[in-house]
Amino acid sequence: MADYKNEFGWFAEKPKVEKKIYDRNKVAIGIVVFLVIFTIAFWKNLGKAVPPPKPALETAAIIKLPEKERTCVEDVEFMRQRHMRLLVDWREQVIRDGERYWTNSKGEKYLASLSNTCMECHTNKTQFCDQCHNYVAVVPNCWGCHLTKEEQVAKAEAK
Amino acid sequence: MDFFKRNILAALIAVLGLIAVAYVGVKGNLQLLFGVVIPYMALLIFFEGIIYRVIKWARSPVPFRIPTTAGQQESLPWLKRTLADKLDNPSTFPFTLGRMALEVLAFRSLFRNTRSELIEAPQRPEGAKLVHWSYKWLWLGAIAFHYAFLVIVIRHLRFFTEPVPHFISLLGEVDGFVQFFIPTVYVSGVVLVLAGLYLLGRRITNPNLRYISLASDYFPLFLIIGIGTTGILMRYVYRVDIQAVKQLALGLVTLHPVVPAGIGAIFYVHLFLVCVLLAYFPFSKLLHAPGLFMSPTRNMTSNNRKVLHVNPWNYPVKFHTYMELEDRYREAMYEAGLPLEIEPETMETEGEEE
Ligand code: HEM
């Protein structure tokens, strides 16, 4: 036991404070909880391969179109990114300005209507719109008021 | 330019520079770097850094309780303690848990924030008086900021899970309850940026605060405001293909990274700023988050008057008896005229010489 000399010349054993992890168990639990919570997205998907959604385009209305005209109201890139903005622009145009027709970037004219234009071609809401929306977890609330094609048909038959 | 403006500017330029780096990089077709490599690296730094820090903190001995609190500590039985006292100065584990929960979930100690200001008082000879008043705006700004951040992060999990758990969609619906604009405006995104701007404005406009603010105080604020702003721009103005974003995000978490074509540059700017935030976290003041859980003044029961705490690292001390001391310093004590148990023998020899 080596003697320890302090400035007064007195001796005591040199303090030996071990470099240990105090409260080791609690700290370990804390770290594990932190890791599990922050990597939850990894655990939930472990070993899964998630295919991207395939919105079905093959509706009777679209197949009926000639091969060359089988396009949306704008090009696909634009539709994928901005169709919700387009719909809102349509709505404002119709409701605020009373202008029911809309011309796209190629100069083609369309009736600006959710049910009577979009849903006229994309009659299969559940296989089309909903495919993507479920994937990214958005629930557009339009359908509380606007009819889908299926509903329109059902309504017409009921009359 | 004075020192204080330089701090603000350095942080601002750093964030703008990061935005430029990501933008230029993506325009130069470095999507794989910014979409996959950097996110994985940032995550590694984030986790490794935090664990390293926490273990480093856990190596410091904290032998004693530190009751720096505002409540009456448990003491003699006739000293009354209210519920607030028990929560502020807990003597049992459940109340310590309560104190920690209040601190983490409600920022209780920040709630007590006061402000001291010199206000004009013409009726006084000095023309001014010092007032201290309870100042809740900082608390409000901070809590709005943190909760908005939490809600946004949880909502973002919709990009990282498939199928999306119900509570995440539910949170999205609650957050978008204003049903204003399409895409529906999420309140939390707006609150995050506004609260961030308030916290920034507070530092810049208050001279006392500006004096103690460094670039490392401004940088995280600019960074988070930048993340929020790019997110909002991406959602409401420069739309990107969200379906492709989700493919990229799912690729990251399923460990099958893919870089779908056609995601706009603004997404990579947003993601890069988030990565910088993650990687910067373990080296910055942002560590107050894990640090809170490791704070001895918060996580230890203050039972100093109830339980005897012996320092477990006390080392054995060699005690010295009085006689040992006197033996050692007898000459000096004699010369100083101090009373002694045993007179030094030298006295006799000195006497003989005379
Ligand atoms: C610190 C973490 C993050 C913060 C604070 C943040 C913040 C935001 C904010 C405020 C918005 C605006 C819309 C809203 O309120 O939700 C947003 C949108 C967005 N963020 Fe983030 N973000 C973070 C991380 C990420 C990450 C890691 C990704 C990568 C997948 C990401 C991708 C997106 C996308 C794609 C949008 C547009 C959402 C939409 O159009 O619906 N964000 N972000």
pLDDT score at B15: 97
- Hey, of B45, B234, B267, B315, which one would you mutate to test binding to chain A, going by the most A CBs within 10 A of its CB? B315
Residue in chain A nearest B315 by alpha carbon: A15
Q: Is the pLDDT of residue A1 over 70?
A: no
Residue B179 touches partner A, C-beta closer than 8 Å = yes
B17 or B123, which is more confident: B17
Mean pLDDT of B258-275: 93
Contact A21 B60 (CB under 8 A): no
| Residue B249 Cβ < 6 Å to ligand 1 | yes
Tell me the pairing of strands B128-134 and A11-13: unpaired
DSSP strand E in B98-171: where?
114-120, 128-134
| Residue B268 Cβ < 6 Å to ligand 1 | no
- B248 with B191, same domain? yes
Q: Is the pLDDT of residue B194 over 80?
A: yes
Asked, for residue B329, whether it belongs to a domain, the answer is yes
Mean pLDDT of B226-240: 94
- B193 with B155, same domain? yes
What is the spatial distance between Cα B217 and Cα B203, in angstroms, rounded to a whole number? 9
pLDDT tens, residue by residue, B318-338: 678 899 889 889 989 999 999
- B45 with B175, same domain? yes
Asked, for residue B111, whether it belongs to a domain, the answer is no
- Give the number of other CB atoms < 10 A from CB of residue B293: 18
What is the spatial distance between Cα B187 and Cα B179, in angstroms, rounded to a whole number? 10
pLDDT score at B215: 93
pLDDT band for B346, please (50, 70, 90 cuts). Answer: low
What is the spatial distance between Cα B236 and Cα B231, in angstroms, rounded to a whole number? 9
- B280 with B335, same domain? no
With CA atoms as reference, report the closest residue to B109 among B147, B80, B81, B138. Answer: B138
Q: How many domains does chain B have?
A: 2
Asked, for residue B150, whether it belongs to a domain, the answer is yes
pLDDT tens, residue by residue, A112-157: 999 888 988 888 888 899 989 999 988 888 888 888 777 777 777 7
- B204 with B336, same domain? no
Tell me the pairing of strands A101-103 and A109-111: antiparallel
Answer yes or no: are the C-beta atoms of B257 and B34 closer than 8 Å: no
Asked, for residue B197, whether it belongs to a domain, the answer is yes
Residue B167 touches partner A, C-beta closer than 8 Å = no
pLDDT band for A2, please (50, 70, 90 cuts). Answer: very low
Q: Which of B253, B268, B299 is the last residue of a domain?
A: B299
- B194 with B341, same domain? no
What's the mean per-residue pLDDT of chain B? 90
CB-nearest partner of A31 from B54, B159, B250:
B54
What is the spatial distance between Cα A71 and Cα A65, in angstroms, rounded to a whole number? 9
pLDDT tens, residue by residue, B267-289: 999 999 999 999 999 999 999 99
Residue in chain A nearest B62 by alpha carbon: A22
Q: Is the pLDDT of residue B260 over 80?
A: yes
A45 or B288, which is more confident: B288
- B183 with B38, same domain? yes
Q: Which of residues 193-222 of B touch A (CB under 8 A)?
A: none
pLDDT score at A14: 58
Range of the domain at B347: 322-353
| Residue B192 Cβ < 6 Å to ligand 1 | yes
CATH number at B50 reads 1.20.950.20
- B291 with B335, same domain? no
- B18 with B160, same domain? yes
Asked, for residue B116, whether it belongs to a domain, the answer is no
B103: which residues sit within 8 A by CB, 6+ positions away? B109, B292, B298
Residue in chain A nearest B237 by alpha carbon: A85
Predicted TM-score (pTM) above 0.90: no
Q: How many CB pairs under 8 A join A and B?
A: 113
pLDDT score at B143: 97
A86–chain B nearest CA distance, Å: 10
| Residue B34 Cβ < 6 Å to ligand 1 | no
Q: Which two tokens stand for residue B214?
A: 């460094």
pLDDT tens, residue by residue, A52-108: 888 888 888 888 888 888 889 998 889 998 899 999 999 999 999 999 999 988 888
- B219 with B336, same domain? no
- B51 with B150, same domain? yes
- How much distance in Å is there from the Cα of B231 to the middle of ligand 1? 5
The residue type found at B185 is V
Residue in chain B nearest A53 by alpha carbon: B243
Q: Is the pLDDT of residue A3 over 70?
A: no
pLDDT score at B8: 93
- Give the number of other CB atoms < 10 A from CB of residue B158: 21
Q: Is the pLDDT of residue B354 over 60?
A: no
Asked, for residue B155, whether it belongs to a domain, the answer is yes
User: Terminus-to-terminus CA distance in chain A, angstroms?
Assistant: 103
- B217 with B344, same domain? no
Asked, for residue B109, whether it belongs to a domain, the answer is no
Among B110-124, B228-242, B280-294, the range scoring the smallest mean pLDDT is B110-124
What is the spatial distance between Cα A137 and Cα B168, in angstroms, rounded to a whole number? 9
CB-nearest partner of B182 from A40, A42, A88:
A88
Asked, for residue B272, whether it belongs to a domain, the answer is yes
Question: Dihedral angle at the C-alpha atoms of A28, A29, A34, A36, nearest 10 degrees?
Answer: 110
